[in-house]
Structure 1
Amino acid sequence: MDVNGSAMEVDVVNVSPCLASFVDDGTVESHRYFLARKTMLEMLKDRGFAIPNSEIDTTLQEFREKYGQRPDVERLRISAMHRTDLTNKASYPSFLS
């Protein structure tokens, strides 16, 4: 509504590039899996596990290209070794289910 109380029309087609970057055409499910996986990878790296930055820096679009709009939980499996203690392993076969 504008200052006069009238309904305002929004031109969705001509949204600025800055605002257009906030529009998400994908599924909520894939976005949640993306965020959960990214958080898990960051936590493992913080605890000394060998997690490549390329895995953490994956964008939502890259995640969706790799895993799809409705990711299969089994494909999201994470397995990592500790950088200094090779006997310390982390494996999360179903951390999202």
Structure 2
Amino acid sequence: MQQLPVITQDPGSAINTLRLSHMKNGDRCRIHKHHAHGAIRQRLLDLGFMPNSTVEVIRCALLGDPLQIKVGDYSVAIRRQEANLIEIQPVEA
């Protein structure tokens, strides 16, 4: 699978973005956009990973995979590979 850059700059704006896979425990962020396609993209959207929604990283498993993410009122576990497909903006606590 293609490794995407960690930090990108949105063309036409001064918004710096990161990947969800690089956030630490307790970090809150707003989803900017997805780089997933097909069934994986649809699964992430169905789980609540919608653009402009706020999520929080609850914890990461001992070996680094999966990540437990709080989306709305529930938590979801996703693979680090899938989290790397989600571009986010950090939110101040």
TM-score of the pair, normalised by structure 2: 0.26
Q: Which has the higher contact order (CA 8 A, sep 6+)?
A: 2
Give the structure with the higher percent helix. 1
Q: Which structure has the bigger radius of gyration?
A: 1
Give the structure with the higher percent strand. 2
TM-score of the pair, normalised by structure 1: 0.25
